[in-house]
Structure 1
C-alpha cells in the first residue's frame, strides 16, 4: 500500500492530493501530489541527517494534515517507528507513555508545544496538558515555528535514503492503561499495510474523485488509489457546506461528527462510512435520508482494522437483540471463547502490545454471537451490570433505544444500596425533539426489552470522552445516579416512560 502511494504521488504530480476548505465551503488545493512526495523526501533526508536509523522511535504530536502524512511516509522509508502522542491524555499519562516508547526524537507542531509552554494555563482549561517542553527529550518543530518552540525540522535537500524493506515496527498507538502501566498497540509495517488495503477494498476509491475524511486509515488508501482527500471542517455548518460543494464519492466521520453534521440538515452524496464508536441503525438511516447513497457502520479496533462492516439497509432489517456489525471482512477470522468473548485474527492484526508477547488472537473485550456468518455484539464484558443476580450486557439492549428522535442512548448501572445495581437508560434527544413525544415513543420499546428493561430513564446529554468521543459510561453512571436521586422532572420511571 505504501509503495502504491509513493508511486501514485509521483504520477501526475500536478493533480491535487490534499484539499482544504474556504469559509464558503469551496474546496481549495492545499498540496499537490508532487508537493506531498517532495515533502516526504525532504523529511526523510532531514531525519536521516539527524542520525535516525531503522528501528529508532520518533514521538509525533502533530495535527493530521499534509506535514503529518509526509512525516509518516518519511518514517516508513527509513524504517522508523512512530509513537503517536496525544496532548489530551494529560501530563502524567504522557510521561509514562514517553518512558515506555523511549523516542530518540519528539516531533511536534507549534500548537502541541504551546500546550507544553506559554499556553499551559489556557490549555489546562481546555483539558489539554503536556509535560513541560524540557521533559519531552530532544524536540523538533514541524511546520511554522512560534516563539518558545524548539528548533525546526525543515525538509532537507540531497540524496534520498533508500527505502527500508524489513518488516519492522511501524506505529505505536496508545489506547488505555494507567500512568504506571500504559498500554500501547504496536503495528508492524506488513499489518499496517494490510489494514490500509482492507480499507481500500471496502471503500473502493476511484481516481480523481474527492474523499472526505481526516484519519490516516482514510488518507493513505484514498491517496494510493489516486483520490484527493479533504479533511473535514470542525464546524458542523462549515462541514455541511464543504460536503455540499465537494460532493465526495466517500465520506468517513465518527458517529459524534455525523450527529453534529445531521443537526444542521446537510445535503449529502456518495457513500458514507462511520466507526471508531458504536454506530446505530438509526444514525445510518438518517445519513441516507440526508442524501447518502449508502451508509456503512464499520467495526474496527486499534488492534485490528477494519474487522467487519454493515450497510444501513441490512442493519435496519435486523430484528434480533444486540448490535449487528456485519460479516467479518475478507481475511478476518472471528472466534468466540467459552465465555462468549470475541477473538479476532487477520492480516491487519497488530503485532503485540508494547513490551508484551506477539498476539495469536486479539481479545476484543466484546461479548458477541454469530447470526449465520454475521457478528452481533452484546456489549463490552467490562460494562456488565449485575441486577437481581442477573448479568445484563448493555450492548445487547441499547440498539433498541435508538429510535427516531434519539441522538444517543446508553444503559448504565447505579448503586441500589444493597450491593445490587439499578439499571438506568440515559437518553440524549436529537436537537428539537419533543421530550413528551419521545417518552411516548419509547414506552413500547421499553416494554419489549425483557431483562434489559431499565428501572429508570433520564433525558440528558450522554457524556463522551477520548479522541473518537465514545460514550463515557463511568460519567454517564454518575450522571444517572445524580438525576435519579436528585432533581425532580429530569428522571422518570420506566413504567411512566
Structure 2
C-alpha cells in the first residue's frame, strides 16, 4: 500500500494532501500530494547517501505527527529500514532505556523534541517534552526547522534514489510496557503493517476527493492512498468543532476524550484507544454522525474488532461489546479467561524475544455463541488516562528514594467513562519527614514527562498473599477514598 500511496501522490501532485487549521480556525494546506512525495524522496536520498543507511538498519524517529513525520516513514519503508517510534513525553530515563534496546543507527527529531535546555526549556515544559542530552542519543539529525542548539538538519537529497526495498523484514518498533531496566517493544513486520492497513481500508473504504479528519499513520496512509485529503485534528476543542463545521469530513477518527467535548458531527465517526460506551456512540449519532463505530485495537494488532453504535446499544448483557473480530483476526481465551488474538496484522514479536502468533491482550473477555467479543475488564496493571497507556513498571523504581518504604502507581476511575486518574501512593519509612520527602519526589515526578501522576498520596501500601506483594486493587480503592475525602473537605 505504501508503494501505491507513492504513485497516488505523484498522479495527483497538485491535490491537497494534508490539511491543518490556523489559530482562527481557517483551513491551511500543509502539504500537497506532490510536495509530500518530493519530501519523502528527498529524505530517502539523504538517509541512503549521506548517512549510509541500508535495509535492516534501525532509524529512531521523534517527530510530531504531520507531513514531515509521514515523509520520514515513507522514506524509511522505501529503504527497508526499521523505524523505532520514540515518544519524547515518556521522560529521559525511559527514553534512554528504549534507545539502548533499539540501538538506532540514526535518530531523527524535530526541534520541539530537542527543546531540553537554555532558551528552549520553557517550550519543552509547555509541550510536555523531555529528551536526554543530544550526546546521549548518538547520531541525531533535525527534521524541519532547526532551532539554535539543535542537531544538524536532515537536508533532502532526492538524486540517485534506490528502488523500493523488496521483501519482508522488521518495519516498525513501538515501545509499550516493561521497566527502565528492561523495556518492552512491539515489532511489526512489513507484511504485518501492510495487512493492518488493508484491514483499515476494507473497513472504512475512504473515497477519492473526500476529506478525512484524523492524524494517525493508519488514517493517513489508507486515506491518502485512496485519493482523499486528510485534515489533522486541531488541538483545542473550539477549533476542532470549527474544523468539522467547515470541512464536513466524510470520516472522522478521534479518541473518546476528544469526542466528548463536541456537539456536531458529519459522515461516519470512528473512535478507539480507550473504551467508548453505547452512550457516547449514541450521542455522537444524535449529534449528526451517519454511523458511530467503536474500534478495538492494540499496539500489537491494529485493528482487531469493530462495533457500530446501534449494535452496541442493543447489547443487554454484562461487559463491553467489541463486536466481531475483523476479517483475518482469530480470537480465543486462555485458561484464565484472557483474550488472545492472532492474525496477519499481529505483531511479529517483542524485541529480543521469540515470535509468538498469539497476542496476549491483558483483557478478560468472553466469546458469544456467534463469535462476538465481550470484554470484562483488564488483567494487567496498565493505567488508561486520556486514551494513553501508562505502565507503572516503567516509573515506579524512580519513586523509591531514601525515606520511601514502598511506592506504587495505580489508576483511579475518573469522572469520564473509561478514563482513569494516575495516583502515586507512597509509603514513607518510619520517622521520615513527609514535607522533605514530598519535595524530594518532585525530581522523579518531573522526569516522568507525560506520565506524571495526577496526585501524590502518603499512606501504607496494602499488601496481599504469602509473598506480601502490593495489592494494586486495594491500593486503588484506598486512593479513590482518599481523593473523594479531599473533594468533600
Partner of residue 29, structure 1:
29
CA distance change for structure 1 residues 38 and 125 in 2, over 3 Å: closer, same or farther? closer
Indicate whether 1:428 and 2:415 are aligned. Answer: yes
Structure-2 residue corresponding to 1:282: 279
- 2:412, 2:61 → 1: CA distance? 39
Q: Cα distance, 1:26 vs. partner?
A: 3.3
Q: Find the counterpart in structure 2 of residue 375 from structure 1.
A: 373
Is the Cα contact below 8 Å between 1:90 and 1:130 reproduced in 2?
A: yes
Q: Could you list the per-position Cα deviations for residues 254-308 of structure 1 after superposition, in whole angstroms to 9, with x for gaps in the alignment?
A: 111112x32xx3x210000000111111111111111111100000000001000
Residue of structure 1 equivalent to 2:110: 109
Question: Whole-Å Cα distance in 1 between the matches of residues 116 and 32 of structure 2?
Answer: 31
Query: What pairs up with 1:65-464 in 2 under 5 angstroms?
Result: 65-115=66-116, 118-120=119-121, 123=124, 127-259=128-260, 261-262=261-262, 265=263, 267-371=264-368, 372-382=370-380, 426=413, 428=415, 462-463=420-421
The Cα shift of 1:489 comes to: 3.6
> Residues 25 and 369 (structure 1 numbering): CA distance in 2 closer, same or farther, change over 3 Å?
same
Taking a change above 3 Å as real, the CA distance of residues 317 and 102 of structure 1, as seen in their structure-2 partners, is same
Q: Over aligned residues, Cα RMSD in angstroms?
A: 2.8
Moved more, 185-194 or 19-28: 19-28
C-alpha displacement of 1:122 = 5.8
Between the aligned partners of 1:224 and 1:44, the Cα distance in structure 2 is 19
8 Å CA contact 2:328, 2:344 repeated in 1? yes
Return the offset for 1:341. 1.0
Partner SS state of residue 341, structure 2: strand
* Residue-by-residue CA offset, 1:178-207 (whole Å, 9 max, x unaligned): 100101000010000110111111111011
Deviations 1:374-413 (A, max 9, x none): 10000111369xxxxxxxxx99xxxxxxxxxxxxxxxxxx
The 8 Å contact of residues 412 and 422 in structure 2, kept in 1 or not, is answered as no
C-alpha contact 1:26 1:246 (8 A) present in aligned 2: no
Report the Cα distance in structure 2 between the residues aligned to 1:310 and 1:19, rounded to whole angstroms. 29
Tell me how far 1:13 sits from its aligned partner: 1.2
Match in the other structure for 1:7? 7
Alpha-carbon distance in structure 2 between the residues aligned to 1:186 and 1:314: 33
Which residue of the partner structure matches residue 411 of structure 1? none
Change (3 A) 1:65 1:425: closer
CA contact (8 A) 1:277 1:468 kept: no
Cα distance change on mapping 1:58 and 1:374 into 2, 3 Å = same
1:284 to 1:338, Cα distance in 2 relative to 1, 3 A: same
TM-score, normalised relative to structure 2: 0.80
1:76/1:164 contact within 8 Å kept: yes
Q: Distance in 1 between matches of 2:117 and 2:82?
A: 23
Contact 1:462 1:471 in 2 (8 A): no
Secondary structure at 1:73's aligned position in 2?
Answer: helix
What is the CA distance between 1:157 and its match in structure 2?
A: 3.1
* 2:46 paired residue number: 46
Aligned partners of 2:416 and 2:337: how far apart in 1?
32
Following superposition, the deviation at residue 461 of structure 1 comes to 8.6
Distance 1:461 1:333, change over 3 A: closer
Q: Alpha carbons of 1:108 and 1:126: their partners in 2 closer, same or farther (altered >3 Å)?
A: closer
- Alpha-carbon distance between aligned partners in 1 of 2:274 and 2:117, rounded to the nearest angstrom: 29
Write the deviation string for residues 9-58 of structure 1: whole angstroms up to 9, x where unpaired. 11121111111113443322221111111110000000001110000011
Deviation at 1:156, TM superposition (A): 1.0
TM-score normalised to the size of structure 1? 0.79
CA deviation after TM superposition for structure 1 residue 60, in Å: 0.4
Flag the 1:425–1:70 CA change in 2: closer, same or farther, 3 A: closer
Distance (Å, rounded) in 2 between the aligned partners of 1:471 and 1:249: 36
List alignment gaps of at least 5 residues for structure 2. Answer: 385-410, 424-448, 456-471
Q: How many angstroms apart in 2 are the aligned matches of 1:272 and 1:224?
A: 20
Rounded to whole Å, the distance in 1 between the matches of 2:451 and 2:304 is: 17
| Larger RCO, structure (CA 8 Å, separation 6 or more) | 2
- Alpha-carbon contact 2:213-2:231 (below 8 Å) kept: yes
Measured in 1, the distance between the counterparts of 2:488 and 2:26 equals 45
C-alpha distance in 2 between matches for 1:471 and 1:286: 28
